Amino acid sequence: MSCGDHHDLPCTDVAQILFLFIDNEMDDANQHHAVEIHFQECPPCRSVMEHEIQVLSTLKQALMNDCREEAPRDLHERIRLQTAQLASAMEAGDPVQNWQFSHTQITTTIVDEFGNSTTIDIQSTTEIRGDF
C-alpha cells in the first residue's frame, strides 16, 4: 500500500504499527500524531485502516452475538462455594503447595480476504485447583 508520495512516516512503518494505532495502544503521542497525519496524506493507507476497523468491528459483533452463553446456575453456585472454601482455607493458613495452578495461553490468527492477518492472544486464564 502506497500512494507513491513522500511522507515523513513511510507507508511501510504505518503498516507495522497499524493495529497499535487502531487499538489506541501507541505509547508515543508524537508517533500517534504522525500516523494521523499519514492517514490524512495517504488515501491507500487510510483505506486499509478503515477496512481493518470494519473487519475488527464485524469480528467483535460476531463474537458478542455468538458467545453469549450463560453458565449453568449450579456452576455459579459451585464456584461461589469453592471460592468461599478456598478463601477460608487460605485464611486458615493451608500450605499453598496443596493447590495446583495452571496457566493457559490461547493464540489464534485470523486472515482476511486481502491476506492481512490478525493474531489474538488470550494469555491469562489461571485456574486454581484444590480438593474440595
List interacting residues with Zn ion (CB under 5 A): 11, 42, 45
Shortest distance (Å) from residue 44 CB to Zn ion: 6
C-beta closer to Zn ion: residue 37 or 96: 37
- Number of helices (H), then strands (E), belonging to the chain: the values are 4, 2
Shortest distance (Å) from residue 129 CB to Zn ion: 51
Shortest distance (Å) from residue 11 CB to Zn ion: 3
C-alpha distance from residue 132 to each of 86, 112, 117 (Å):
8, 46, 44
C-beta closer to Zn ion: residue 6 or 103: 6
C-beta closer to Zn ion: residue 18 or 42: 42
Give CA–CA dist 71/65, Å, rounded. Answer: 16
C-beta closer to Zn ion: residue 37 or 79: 37
Cell numbers representing residue 39 in the block:
492517514
The DSSP code sequence of 55-104 is: HHHHHHHHHHHH--PPPPHHHHHHHHHHHHHHHHHHHTT--GGGSEEEEE
